Structure 1
């Protein structure tokens, strides 16, 4: 039986692949809600940085998050799917309860790194879908999971100018899971 967190990770990779598959070459230069990247650079980040780093992380090692992005092929969705399959293979062999160092300090079970990966993929799927108006139904279970995990892990000291994350943008509590997730990660779900 597949662990629930690995099931969610597979759903997150499938969702990201589905969003990337809808992107046309004419959309490569569109801005995304993630201010540092246009569509192409965000896809490059996901495919050539996140997936390889996630594999290192899934093995319990510490990736070099400062490394430069790699080459992006012309079939972005296929390149992402190939990397995602390799990642899921590493996770299938992992001991999810193995204690590993956590990015905020201390130790925790390896499974927390899978939660971080689910969150990264879910947020960036929303970024790409919003930027390109992708006709993809985003999985609200992934957004709820990412929001619950990140509310425990994303501390105030990681937010603000020159930090990894922008300040939270308040959204009504009855907003969709993705709007609440976007706001939590400093994106304004009301803007295009």
Structure 2
């Protein structure tokens, strides 16, 4: 029997973010593995390993309502990046599709509905997809709704005290208010929107 229950809009948007990331990973060629990325000191290989071996693991734990050990080393990732990402991402989405998004879970400053963790994941996937597409010279139009959603969420929760040396996020980069949305997303998360592999 087919499951015809409606998909929560947040989970649907997360699925779109994952699909977009999957498409960008699939387009990376082996000779690009050691190229730099907008993520400081990370190569393409290290960024993909972060996405597959760390983010997908930690995000699945978060989707269960538990707290990941965010600083734990990434799991080992095989040579077929595209297949590995799709397999692990499918498990993450399966977790979200059966989750109670309104269940209170630990959050910064107390408790918040589980859905806030899905919001975070949309923002992270959108940002790292921009990183990877820019690093590998992929001339593609990224889904603007994902970036707008990620910006709206992160503007509410990313406080100044979370930025700076030794913190999870760098300083926001200056950018025009009418710049393309992915440039604004990159700048908000401390990237240089004008970054290129040759810079």
The residue number in structure 1 matching 2:168 is 164
The residue number in structure 2 matching 1:83 is 88
The residue number in structure 2 matching 1:20 is 25
CA shift, 1:137, in A, is 2.1
Q: Is the 8 A contact 1:32 1:127 kept in 2?
A: yes
The residue number in structure 1 matching 2:138 is 134
RMSD, aligned α-carbons? 0.8
May I ask how many residue pairs the two structures share in their alignment?
191
Listed as ranges, the matches of 1:93-112 within 5 Å are: 93-102=98-107, 104-112=108-116
The residue number in structure 1 matching 2:183 is 179
Residue 101 of structure 1 aligns to a residue in which SS? strand
Residue 137 of structure 1 aligns to a residue in which SS? coil
The residue number in structure 2 matching 1:152 is 156
CA shift, 1:68, in A, is 1.0
- In 2, Cα distance between the equivalents of 1:105 and 1:120? 21
What residue ranges of structure 1 are gaps of 5+ in the alignment?
none
Residue 120 of structure 1 aligns to a residue in which SS? helix
- In 2, Cα distance between the equivalents of 1:76 and 1:136? 20
- In 2, Cα distance between the equivalents of 1:112 and 1:131? 29
Task: Tell me if 1:119 matches 2:123.
Answer: yes
CA shift, 1:108, in A, is 0.4
Please give the TM-score of this superposition, normalised by the length of structure 2.
0.94
Q: Is the 8 A contact 1:140 1:178 kept in 2?
A: yes
The residue number in structure 2 matching 1:9 is 14
What residue ranges of structure 2 are gaps of 5+ in the alignment?
1-5
CA shift, 1:162, in A, is 1.3
Q: Is the 8 A contact 1:18 1:136 kept in 2?
A: no
Residue 37 of structure 1 aligns to a residue in which SS? coil
The residue number in structure 2 matching 1:38 is 43
- In 2, Cα distance between the equivalents of 1:27 and 1:97? 41
Residue 105 of structure 2 aligns to a residue in which SS? strand
The residue number in structure 2 matching 1:57 is 62
